[in-house]
């Protein structure tokens, strides 16, 4: 557990804490975000599993589409990301699994790159390294603790120092937007068979 103790707090904004830590073999830092939300496990799972809704809250997402729906909690999908000029836009092909711990009722999501599933496109840089982990842990007061970890490399010729400088801005905006999605009726009214609400 040596590596688990070296998170460094980078910022604390609006109840969202942002941490960074070094990764072996690269100058690009790993990111972690923590906050608390008020929402049911069903609502959280509904937002996490609605690929076509990602453009509403995932920062700079231009187009998200399902490639293959394996089950309610497992999907392969494609996302096109807007990058500022003069940089080329990025895209990702991802495999996402959402599941619930039946004892703690914590909701887990793990998303990893499967970039080989779709042919790369001209003028778009394929992000080949990406791992996103969400953990939603029910608390005694009816709230839910959110832990989000991001380990990725945008590819291309962007210097690592520049990536690290701005790396938390997108996920921070996504986290804020994610909280807004939890208030939408369409997600509050969705029911997924593999999810149980905490008491």
Q: Provide the phi-psi class of 14: left if phi over 0, else alpha when psi is between -120 and 50, else beta.
A: left
Q: Are 32 and 147 in contact (CB under 8 A)?
A: yes
Any residues with CB less than 8 A from the CB of 187 and at least 6 apart, and which?
A: 43, 46, 47, 50, 181
Q: How far is CA 44 from CA 6, 130, 140, 142, 184, in A?
A: 29, 22, 17, 14, 11
Q: How far is CA 14 from CA 11, 18, 166, in A?
A: 10, 11, 18
Given CA atoms 168, 27, 55, 89 in this order, what sign does their dihedral have?
Answer: positive
pLDDT for 39: 94
Domain ranges of the chain: 2-188
Tokens of 38: 């008020």
pLDDT, tens digit only, all 199 positions of the chain: 345 558 989 889 889 999 989 888 788 888 999 999 999 999 999 999 999 999 999 989 999 999 999 999 999 999 999 988 788 899 999 999 999 999 999 999 999 999 999 999 999 999 999 999 999 999 988 899 999 999 888 777 666 666 766 667 788 889 999 999 999 999 999 999 999 998 7
2-188: which CATH topology? Alpha-D-Glucose-1,6-Bisphosphate; Chain A, domain 4 (3.30.530)
- pTM assigned to the model: 0.91
Distance CA 41, CA 143 (A): 10
């Amino acid at each position: 557990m040596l590596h688990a103790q070296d998170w460094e707090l980078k910022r604390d904004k609006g109840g969202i804490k942002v941490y960074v830590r070094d990764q072996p073999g690269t100058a690009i830092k790993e990111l972690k975000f923590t906050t608390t939300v008020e929402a049911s496990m069903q609502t959280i799972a509904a937002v996490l599993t609605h690929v076509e809704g990602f453009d509403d809250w995932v920062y700079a997402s231009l187009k998200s589409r399902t490639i293959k729906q394996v089950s309610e909690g497992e999907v392969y999908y494609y996302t096109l990301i807007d990058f500022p000029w003069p940089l080329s836009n990025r895209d990702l092909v991802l495999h996402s699994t959402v599941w619930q711990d039946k004892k703690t009722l914590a909701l887990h999501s793990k998303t990893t790159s499967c970039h080989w599933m779709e042919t790369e496109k001209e003028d778009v840089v394929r992000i080949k390294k990406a791992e996103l982990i969400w953990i939603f842990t029910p608390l005694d007061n009816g709230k839910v603790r959110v832990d989000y970890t991001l380990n990725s490399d945008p590819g291309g010729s962007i210097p690592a120092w520049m990536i690290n400088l701005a790396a938390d801005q997108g996920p921070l905006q996504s986290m804020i937007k994610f909280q807004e999605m939890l208030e939408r009726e369409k997600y509050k009214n969705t029911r997924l068979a593999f999810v149980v609400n905490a008491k």
